[in-house]
Amino acid sequence: MGIKCPKCHFDNPDDTVYCGKCATPLPSSKEIPVTETLETPTEELTTGSTFAGRYQIIEELGKGGMGKVYKALDTDLKEKVAIKLIKPEVAVDKKTIERFRNELKFARKIRHKNVCQMYDLNREEGTHYITMEYVHGEDLKRLIRKMGQMSAGQVISIAMQVCEGMAEAHRLGVVHRDLKPQNIMVDEEGNARIMDFGIARSVKGKGITGAGVMIGTPEYMSPEQVEGKESDQRSDIYSLGVILYEMVTGRVPFEGDTPFTIGVKQKSEVPRNPKELNSQIPDDLSRVILRCMEKDKEQRYQSAGEVRSELKNIEKGIPTAEKVIPKKKPITSKEITVTFGLKKLFIPGLIVAALLIAAVIIIWRVIPQKEAAPAISSSKYSIAVLPFEDLSPTKDHEYLCDGIAETLINSLNNIKDLWVPARASSFSFKGKDLGIHEIGQQLGVENLLEASVQVIGNKLRITPKIINVNDGSQVWSEQYDRQMEDVFAIQDEIAREIVKALKIKLLGEKEAPLVKNYTENLQAYHLYLQGRYFWNRRKAEDIKKAIDYFNQAIEKDPNHALAYVGLADCYLLLPQYGRSPTKEVLPKAKAAVSKALEIDGKLAEAHTSLAFIMTQEFDNAGAENEFKRAIELNPNYATAHHWYNILLVYQGRLDKAMTEIRRAIELDPLSLVINSCLGDIFYLQGEYDQAIHQYRKTLELDPTFAEVIIWLGKCYGQKEMFEEAIAEFKKARILFGDSPYGLGDLGNAYARSGDESNAIAILTDLEEMSNQGYALYYDMGFIYWGFGDKKKAFEYLEKAYKEKEHAISYLKVDPAWESLRLDPRFKSLLKRMNLE
């Protein structure tokens, strides 16, 4: 008959006590009355929830073999703590829990500035959890990944502190047994703290070759741990040697496809001299590292104090400047510096000032990332140009309404002291019934320009008006009754009236036109506007329509530079939205944008498009020069900052990317794609909860924005919340319709969750689509990687590289590929993409 799990509904054999899939305790007719409520272990905590009646969850900090770790506020003691939820499969053995309890009695005795304080082991509704001191900072693993090879001074500075913490723990008889970079936190001042003392020892196991729960992490385990033998403080010293090796070389000494193969190497292979991988380190440091990693523990240093003494001697010959740990850059580019003498330290005014500054810093570091308000510009004047309303009897001139409004936005953006939100933000209110005041607040402007357009035959009527958002008063209005060919002159007149109404003083030639016309051909102008109208809809079929309109515009006026840019931009979007082969469309895009620059070399839009083409060609240096040129020509062109951010993301320059995307948000605060990119950076930094928050904020603007739903699913995938990830991917797939976008992500999630049949079905679909001309090799490689098939994954990544597929550019930074990064084939790919 079987027993159905009350949590995951998995069918278990009759005599099962715990679910074979999720480890939830199962009801038994022999032991538990039907009416009794079972305790189901909590495996996931959500931000803002309260756990165990006193811990308010702030965010997830990470996860490991033992379980997930959360940052929380202890509402009883009013201080932050870290909570580690113990996985049900670990906590299922009562003897294991008892060992936890006994070990923590010793671990709690460790009181040292370089060791995180352990608190207690408790149980809440079937879930065992450990509370410990919350340590602010960045784990050493992430720091190594960010810096690559660390300098000898930086390595020694951190290692000496780790030795001090280890020495104190070993003095009290506590051995870590799972020392690794992920268990060492480093704050912005370079102070190191060891985490999780007293946990690994509690788990019963026999090394990686025996049964039970494995003690330690294969890459950092001593040979005696691998063999399941008794380990002491010298095992920690071996692990420290591996960590030092990784710090100076950027890689661990032994790698392998499975824990077993890594373990064999730990027992039998001699590590390569780290000096061969980093010639900058002193010979003495290399010698210390290799002695820590001796296979025979009798040949290693016998105490952490010995290691520290050796490091102290080496440190004497290292310049002070080399010992500095790079501080994490603040989100804002501005720095707040306070200088005062010690004698004035207690002056009340300075104390108040210091507290205020501290409060500002705390608020700025926590809130902006989660609740970023619309940009408030420092410009003296501000106006938003809303999409014009089509009052034509035939209602077929929406493209003209959008085009005139966008032309005014682009032109007004060039006026000094005038803040004008970009198109995506202003147009986000299209079709929405919102009040003037609310729109003004969301866009951060004091004035709105509304207008209606009426076309009857060749007659054109445009009725614009400026409204003050604070009191709803009408600042200016006009009615233009002209012939269609006068549209160019009307646009310039409206721009001048806006400047006049807002009392803005123009610099330069007063009679020079504010609105630049890129064609005098009326038909070419209309065709161009129709092309942009369809391009902005971002659907494969609409992009193809846009190509047709841009080509027609060029036929009418071969010198229409913006039409060539529009054509190039269409080709750039086709790989993403239509999955056309990138290597086929890039040459077409480049030819079009080159023609635009030949006509007008100062066109910021053309330089931006050329830069993005170069990005796809892996010409990163050329792309960066073009982006900088575009921004120099038009600092307020949001797309230039947005696309420059993408290049920086590909290169792993996430701090600089953050600067550019925040500038893009300032210029276009309600753009879906730009707000989504902010979430992407959080995702790539491993800050999944912040990324999820940003993606959900973006979806509040438009719940049908499928691209951001895909990235939301990626976050859940990285958190191993496969059920949630698959749900998001499926939702996006419905919105994408026939497009294959997101299939690779869905297939990867199926593969990683153990749903082999669905993953293989998607692979089959992708193969068929690929035979029809779609460029989908990256997606197929990603699914094979979900299965753990490295050979196939690399085979398809190579194909994706040759096809210049858009998605492969994220290879260096996407955490989904983290465990492949040390593979020589991976490094070879990055090198050929100019990302190494």
Cβ atoms within 10 A of the Cβ of 677, count? 25
**Tokens of residue 374, six digits:** 């619309």
- Active site annotation includes 284: no
**Tokens of residue 445, six digits:** 């402007």
Task: Tell me the residue type at 578.
Answer: G
First to last CA, the chain: 58
Task: Tell me the residue type at 808.
Answer: I
The phi-psi region of residue 605 (left if phi > 0; otherwise alpha if psi is between -120 and 50; otherwise beta) is alpha
Residue 262: half-sphere exposure toward Cβ, Cα within 13 Å: 19
Question: With DSSP H G I counted as helix, E B as strand and the rest as coil, what are the percentages for the chain, rounded to 5?
Answer: 50, 10, 35
3-state secondary structure of 183: helix
Write down the residue that tokens 């001074």 correspond to.
153
- 579 sits in which H/E element: none
Burial of 34 (0-12, 13-18, 19+ CB in 10 A): exposed
**Tokens of residue 320, six digits:** 């002070």
3-state secondary structure of 448: strand
d(CA 795, CA 91): 41
Write down the residue that tokens 């900052």 correspond to.
641
Tell me phi and psi for residue 92, to 5 degrees: -65, -30
Closest CA to 90 of 7, 216, 214: 214
3-state secondary structure of 421: coil
Residue of 139, 178, 492, 745 marked active site: 178
Beta bridge partners of 72: 57, 81
Write down the residue that tokens 């053995």 correspond to.
93
Cβ atoms within 10 A of the Cβ of 610, count? 27
CB of 238 closer than 8 Å to CB of 288: no
Closest CA to 215 of 293, 99, 133, 307: 99
Task: Tell me the residue type at 514.
Answer: L
Task: Tell me the residue type at 120.
Answer: D
The long-range contacts involving 57-63, CB below 8 angstroms and separated by at least 24 positions, are: 57/83, 59/689, 59/690, 60/688, 60/689, 60/719, 62/139, 62/182, 63/719, 63/720
Burial of 831 (0-12, 13-18, 19+ CB in 10 A): exposed
* Pairing label, strands 381-382, 418-419: parallel
The long-range contacts involving 221-226, CB below 8 angstroms and separated by at least 24 positions, are: 221/263, 221/266, 222/266, 222/297, 223/266, 223/267, 223/295, 224/297, 225/177, 226/263, 226/264, 226/266, 226/267
Range list of β-strands (E), 187-240: 192-194
DSSP code per residue over 613-655:
HHHHTT-HHHHHHHHHHHHHH-TT-HHHHHHHHHHHHHHT-HH
Positions annotated as catalytic residues are: 178
